[in-house]
Amino acid sequence: MQQITIASTSTLHGSGYLEYLLDYLSVFFKNADTILFIPYARPGGISHDAYTETVQKAFAKIDKSVTGIHKHSNPVEAVAQAEAIFVGGGNTFVLTNQLYKNNLIDAVQQAVKTGTPYLGTSAGSNICGLTIKNTNDMPIVYPPSFNALALVPFNINPHYLDPLPDSKHMGETRETRIKEFHNFNTNPVVGLREGSWLAVSGKSIKLKGELPARIFEYNKAPYEVAPDTQLNHLK
Amino acid sequence: MQQITIASTSTLHGSGYLEYLLDYLSVFFKNADTILFIPYARPGGISHDAYTETVQKAFAKIDKSVTGIHKHSNPVEAVAQAEAIFVGGGNTFVLTNQLYKNNLIDAVQQAVKTGTPYLGTSAGSNICGLTIKNTNDMPIVYPPSFNALALVPFNINPHYLDPLPDSKHMGETRETRIKEFHNFNTNPVVGLREGSWLAVSGKSIKLKGELPARIFEYNKAPYEVAPDTQLNHLK
């Protein structure tokens, strides 16, 4: 039975890395001692090692050890044998490209299907959707496809932002961008605000955290759903 | 001799469509009576016709007529025969995809090389760079390549935004995103603020408008350049 946590962000303003999620994660990862971390989306100039260290420090607080997939000679096997998987944030295009390069799309899908718990934050959540077409990231590399892991039958827009009422910036709002997506695509999009996550357990998909999420369905007005709403009708 | 105007935006806050540029454009397009408009990036739910009408109204003020490329049965021929070309804003991925689908990449490059004046705004400016890897747009369609028109030997980041000093949003700043681009790419990026444009005439590339631009070169600290600075050293 699949067990997935799809979190908008790793870090809330003024709080430590993964801090707001740790209580939840100690239950979510209760059957795992070691978590396989996939740092491929790594942001900025830090190394995969440095990124993995940040994750190790956070998970040490709930007594989990963490290994970086870049330390394994066979990444496909590392995924197949993992007790649990965490894909961190950074750039979604870089992450997707690296997953394809390392033949990990099928491997992660298989692992999740057979019950390996999966945590994604930000870019690691984007790839849980059907495609990465609702990422907010800059397309700094060209991946072989925008198709993603399709662990849920819709797309994710993490870091969902409401329009700034007094902005003089003429760029599109997030809502406008997602509406434009629906000129070319029909699948739903879940806009996850900072501090929200989707808790997927088998066929159940529940919104968690304190804020509502904004749902965009094809040919429908966008609407809000409250925490603990069941979202398994979306497809 | 190539004649290109690469504008950050079509519309300044509180001003009409293309209004801030019209005086400049009446000189830039002095040898053209009719402008071929490419509406492929069209934003939101409006039709190519409706988008073209907006452009027609703006150019009527400087006595130019405008035809939409979607009205021509042979778009490649339309570009080859155009007196002038304007590519409007919207979504850069949609625009790039449509240019490839209609075999217009070569056609526009050829036309510009032989002196047809080209105006781009926003998405239409993004595609003047080597690649579209510095667009701010959502990747709502998957184009066959991120390679663009390469009319200038660097990339464009239109609508360049400075960091908001008090933001609690944890998303990357524009500067961070462009720095991350340089972890994977080496060409320079010109961050064009709203109301700025590049005036390209043969080998001369000058910054125009009232604001400085921010230049990002590989392995260099970003720096500001003032209006009227010559940028033909960038490559």
What 3 state SS string does chain B have? CCEEEEECCCCCCCCCCCHHHHHHHHHHCCCCCEEEEECCCCCCCCCHHHHHHHHHHHHHCCCCEEEEHHHCCCHHHHHHHCCCEEECCCCHHHHHHHHHHCCHHHHHHHHHHCCCCEEEECHHHHCCCCECCCCCCCCCCCCCCCECCCCCCCEEECCCCCCCCCCCCCCCCHHHHHHHHCCCCCCCEEECCCCCEEEEECCEEEEECCCCEEEECCCCCCEEECCCCECCCCC
Question: How many beta-carbon pairs below 8 A join chains A and B?
Answer: 109
Q: What is the pLDDT of residue A166?
A: 67
> Pick from B91, B94, B138: which is nearest to A134 by CB?
B138
- Of A43 and B183, the one with more pLDDT: B183
Smallest CA-to-CA distance from A84 within A54, A62, A51, A101 is with A62
Q: Which of A10, A122, A125, A196 is catalytic?
A: A122
Largest CA distance in chain A: 52
Superfamily of the domain at A3-225: Class I glutamine amidotransferase (GATase) domain (3.40.50.880)
B15: pLDDT confidence band, cut at 50, 70 and 90? very high
Residue in B with minimal Cα distance to A171: B159
Query: Using an 8 Å Cβ cutoff, are A158 and A191 in contact?
Result: no
Helices (H), chain B: 22-28, 48-60, 75-81, 92-101, 104-113, 123-126, 174-181
- H/E segment holding residue B5: strand B3-7
Give yes or no for residue B165 having a pLDDT over 60: yes
Q: What is the pLDDT of residue A170?
A: 55
Q: What is the pLDDT of residue B150?
A: 98
Question: Which residue, among B170, B182, B194, would best test binding to A if mutated, counting the most A CBs under 10 Å from its CB?
Answer: B170
Instruction: Give CA–CA dist A188/B28, Å, rounded.
Output: 44
Q: Pull the structure tokens for residue A179.
A: 């509406």
Residue in B with minimal Cα distance to A169: B13
Q: What is the pLDDT of residue B166?
A: 67
> Pick from A9, A140, A170: which is nearest to B13 by CB?
A170
Q: What is the pLDDT of residue A169?
A: 59
Asked if A170's CB is within 8 angstroms of B12's CB, the reply is yes
Give yes or no for residue A171 having a pLDDT over 80: no
Tell me what the pLDDT averaged over chain B comes to: 95
Find the mean pLDDT for residues A172-197. Answer: 95
> Domain-by-domain residue ranges, chain A?
3-225
Give yes or no for residue B43 having a pLDDT over 70: no
Tell me what the pLDDT averaged over chain A comes to: 95
Q: What is the pLDDT of residue B115?
A: 97
B17: pLDDT confidence band, cut at 50, 70 and 90? very high
Give yes or no for residue A43 having a pLDDT over 80: no
Q: What is the pLDDT of residue A66?
A: 98
Give yes or no for residue B170 having a pLDDT over 60: no
A167: pLDDT confidence band, cut at 50, 70 and 90? low
Which of chain A's residues have a Cβ under 8 Å away from the Cβ of B181? 138, 140
Which of chain A's residues have a Cβ under 8 Å away from the Cβ of B176? 43-44
Instruction: Give CA–CA dist A126/A124, Å, rounded.
Output: 6
Asked if A140's CB is within 8 angstroms of B133's CB, the reply is yes
Asked if B141's CB is within 8 angstroms of A139's CB, the reply is no
Asked if A170's CB is within 8 angstroms of B9's CB, the reply is yes
Which of chain B's residues have a Cβ under 8 Å away from the Cβ of A135? 138-139
Find the mean pLDDT for residues B10-15. Answer: 91
Residue in A with minimal Cα distance to B171: A159
> Pick from B14, B140, B171: which is nearest to A159 by CB?
B171
The per-residue pLDDT for range B179-232, each reduced to its tens digit, is 999 999 999 999 999 999 999 999 999 999 999 999 999 999 999 999 999 999
B45: pLDDT confidence band, cut at 50, 70 and 90? confident
Find the mean pLDDT for residues A49-70. Answer: 97
